[in-house]
Each structure stands twice: as structure tokens, then as C-alpha cells.
Amino acid sequence: MTLEPALIASAIAKCCGGPRRAPLERAEADELAVLLKAVADPVRLQLLSIIRAANGHSACVCDLTPAVGLSQPTVSHHLKVLTEAGLLTRERRGPWAWFTLVPERLAQVGRIFAS
């Protein structure tokens, strides 16, 4: 007796909980580690949440500094880490730097541990 592949897949899914994600390759793990390191800081999480809540998901560094209660150089450092991780883009508008959330990259954080 020969079983259809779809029937086998269905039986395995019922028995074993369905298909699993493939393990990460080293290059993908390295990339995701950079992303996780970027968000593994309370100030950076706070900055991301402020920018996400802002109109157009964009905020000026001049507004972010007082919002987190840290010095401008410290906030700039955190914003640089988030930008280098691809979570934010930076745009110069006159004398100020504006930071905009990259929603696709933030969504990637949520998918890291999703089954």
C-alpha cells in the first residue's frame, strides 16, 4: 500500500506538531545577533518605542534627548547603534538629525523566535 505524500505530511503534522523551522545558518545567526544586541538595551528600546509612537514613525534627536533624560552624545551613540543595525534611518534636516523606524527590520525581531 502506497500513501500519498500529502497524507503522510498531514499525519506527521497531527502527530509531531507540524513542520519546524530549519536551524539557523551561521551567517544568519551572526546577522540576527547584531540585531538582538542593538535592542538589548533599555534606552534603545525606549528610543524605538518613542519613535514608533511618533507621527510618521520619525523623530528629531532634539526631542529624543529630553524624552530619555540622557545627554545628547549618549543618545546619539544609542541612535547610531540602532541605525547601524538597520532599525532606523537617519536624515539630516537643517541642523537636526531625524530618525525614522524601519518597520520591516523591527518585524524581523518579532519573527526571530516565532515558530
pLDDT, tens digit (0-9, with 9 covering 90-100), for 91-106? 999 999 999 999 999 8
Domain membership of residue 14 (yes or no) is no
3-state secondary structure of 73: helix
Domain membership of residue 15 (yes or no) is no
Q: 42: domain CATH number?
A: 1.10.10.10
When pLDDT is cut at 50, 70 and 90, the band that residue 5 belongs to is low
Domain membership of residue 7 (yes or no) is no
Cα distances (Å, whole numbers) of residue 94 to 60, 77, 98: 11, 20, 10
Domain membership of residue 58 (yes or no) is yes
- 57 — alpha (psi -120 to 50), left (phi > 0) or beta? left
Domain housing 27: 23-111
Domain membership of residue 96 (yes or no) is yes
Number of domains the chain contains? 1
In 17-113, which residue ranges form alpha helices assigned H by DSSP?
Answer: 26-39, 42-53, 61-68, 72-84, 103-111
At residue 100, φ and ψ (nearest 5 deg) are -125, 135
Is the pTM above the cut of 0.95? no
Which cell numbers in the block locate residue 2?
502506497
Domain membership of residue 80 (yes or no) is yes
